[in-house]
Structure 1
Amino acid sequence: MTVSIRLCRVAFAMICAAQAEASCFNLSGGKYGVDPLLLKAIAWQESDFRSITHPANRNGSVDIGWMGINTGWLPTLSRWGITRERLLSDACLNVQTGAWVLQQCMKAHGATWKAVGCYNARSAVKQQRYVGLIWQKWQRLQRGERGDIADTSPEVRANSVDTAWRAGTGG
């Protein structure tokens, strides 16, 4: 009996954590003017929704956490007390930071797929490859294929920047 009660408590805690993480996408998207499903697509691609550190990139930088925040951003982020450790230990902070980074790219390139490519790479070839991966995941999320993480409310979906993103690719 005690074991089953503990298992129920663990399962309940996991469900609450998953709901909290989902709301992080909605809040971060709203704060920075980014479609929450797009943020989820990026997190899915970057880490499969895990707090991990990726192996070093060719330039020696490292990508951190759910959103794959590149260590090149750490000097700027340190102004707000954001560290590598915090990005790894706080998934919501990581998602919010990813939304901010994407917003920086959107300021430079508009609400286009070029901004999504900018999030990941400087090279046009790498940007195009990344955009293709994100586009596929974003489409799957819109169809509800990852129901475990795609619980964005209908209101948020209705206010998404779908039209702007498509316009940016000619698609």
Structure 2
Amino acid sequence: MLFAAALACAAPFARADCFEEAAGYQHVNPWVLRAIAWQESRGRADAIHRNNNGTVDYGKMQINSIHLRRLFGYGISKEALMQPCVSVYVAAWRLREMTNKYGNTWAAVGAYHSETPGERDKYAHAIHSILLRLGVMVNRASDPAGMRGAAMRMHRALHQVA
């Protein structure tokens, strides 16, 4: 059903900003999705990045090619990932997967990018910094990826604007 919604967004008259809809569908924070889009591609729908490990990231949300096999099963191709709304819906799905796995925490946000702890925490910190610059969050700790209080801060961040 998620992917039917994503594919519906591929229609010519689809709304250009799908963050609210995708976030609502997956019960994730739209501001976190926006911050991910900025971190990943500066919001560029045509972004393609070839990684050193041989994988490729596609579209506005830089969906990695390791997910293509699963996405193909839902009718989503790498070409479809270049459509902004499809990319945002798939990113919301991926963020929901990580939230289901790690809870409503910065670890889940960081795991959108990598589940390797060092990379995960660095990414979570980058997203936190973007949210601070956007004025969506206030700085309550010097180490947003740290263990102490991270779950509570994430809970507040995810629910104060949703």
TM bracket, shorter-chain basis:
0.7 to 0.9
C-alpha displacement of 1:40: 0.2
Q: 1:163 to 1:122 in 2, by over 3 A?
A: closer
Normalised to the residue count of structure 1, the TM-score between the two structures is 0.70
Structure 1 SS opposite 2:43? coil
Which of the numbers 55, 61, 75 marks the counterpart of 1:67? 61
Partner of 1:159: none
C-alpha displacement of 1:126: 0.9
Normalised to the residue count of structure 2, the TM-score between the two structures is 0.73
Partner of 1:126: 119
2: CA distance, partners of 1:62 / 1:106: 23
Partner of 1:51: 45
Any gaps of 5 or more consecutive residues in structure 1? 1-18, 145-161
Any gaps of 5 or more consecutive residues in structure 2? 1-13, 138-150, 158-162
2: CA distance, partners of 1:140 / 1:112: 20
1: CA distance, partners of 2:66 / 2:122: 21
1: CA distance, partners of 2:49 / 2:60: 14
Match of 1:100, as an amino acid?
W
Which of the numbers 84, 95, 108 marks the counterpart of 1:91? 84
Please report the RMSD computed on the Cα atoms of aligned residues, expressed in angstroms.
Answer: 2.4
Would you tell me which structure has more helix in proportion to its own residues?
A: 1
State how 1:13-162 maps to structure 2 within 5 Å. 20-22=15-17, 24-88=18-82, 90-143=83-136
When Rg is computed on C-alpha atoms for both structures, the one with the higher figure is 1
- Percent identical residues: 34
2: CA distance, partners of 1:143 / 1:122: 25
Q: Which range is displaced more, 93-102 or 46-55?
A: 46-55
